[in-house]
Amino acid sequence: MAKLSYSEQALADLERLTDFLIEIDASAAAETVELIEEAVNLLIRHPLVGRPVEHELRELVISRGRSGYLALYSLEEDQDAVLILAIRHQREAGYWGQGEE
Each residue of 2-14: pLDDT tens digit?
A: 899 999 999 999 9
CA dist., res. 92 & res. 5, Å (int): 23
Rounded to two decimals, the pTM is 0.85
- pLDDT for 97 beyond 80: no
pLDDT in tens, 55-73: 899 999 998 777 899 999 9
Average pLDDT over every residue of 22-49: 92
**Nearest alpha-carbon partner for 66 in 100, 34, 89, 88:** 89
Q: What mean pLDDT do residues 14-31 have?
A: 90
Give me the mean pLDDT over the 71-98 stretch. 85
Q: Is the pLDDT of residue 75 over 50?
A: yes
Which residues have C-beta within 8 Å of that of residue 12, sequence separation ≥ 6? none
7/22 Cα distance (integer angstroms): 23
Contacts of 41 (CB under 8 A, 6+ apart): 4
pLDDT at 101 over 90: no
What does DSSP say about strands 58-64 and 81-89: parallel, antiparallel, or unpaired?
unpaired
